[in-house]
Amino acid sequence: MVQKWIILIAFVLSGLRGESDTLVITITIEDVPLAVEENTVPTEFHTYSAFPNPFNNVVVLKWDIPNETNFSVSIFDVMGRQVWFKNCGRVMPGQYSIRWNGKDIYYQTVSGGIYFVRTRTGENVTQQKILFLK
């Protein structure tokens, strides 16, 4: 489930002749949440292959986490620059997934190309390659 916050601000501006105009500003804020699959308690840490890969709009990243631990996901470009980061904090055992929409931390769509997904838990670091097609 993607959380989306929409903030609507409206101002009524009065002119000199008694005329008025309305200025409306809409701000949309999106967050990519960490989804927990129901009734799944894995026995070992596992990183699933990204799907689909290559991807055009959205890629699904999925993990099995067997123990309570800190969990974070980073995405890097081929130059080693971090383009996206999600610190999920302390998570309970379970199966988790994130949908990444190809946008950086500033909500700008990244360039097409190869990216690396790095997952960190207290005990594990994994990395996989994904290909973003535009």
Q: What topology is assigned to 33-132 in CATH? A: Immunoglobulin-like (2.60.40)
pLDDT < 70 positions in the chain:
1-40
Instruction: Count other Cβ atoms within 10 Å, centred on residue 50.
Output: 19
**pLDDT value of position 22:** 61
CA atoms within 13 A on the CB side of 113: 11
Please tell me the distance from the alpha carbon of residue 43 to that of residue 61, in angstroms, as a whole number: 19
Torsion sign across C-alpha atoms 125, 95, 48, 58: negative
Please tell me the distance from the alpha carbon of residue 67 to that of residue 4, in angstroms, as a whole number: 30
**pLDDT value of position 1:** 43
**pLDDT value of position 23:** 61
Task: Tell me if 103 sits within 8 A of 58, measured CB to CB.
Answer: no
Tally of residues, the chain: 134
**pLDDT value of position 39:** 63
**pLDDT value of position 85:** 94
Among 106, 103, 130, 102, smallest CA distance to 117 is for 130
Q: In what order do the strands lie in the sheet with 69-77?
A: 82-91, 69-77, 113-120, 125-132
**pLDDT value of position 2:** 47
Please tell me the distance from the alpha carbon of residue 56 to that of residue 52, in angstroms, as a whole number: 9
Bridge partners, 26 (sequence order): 8
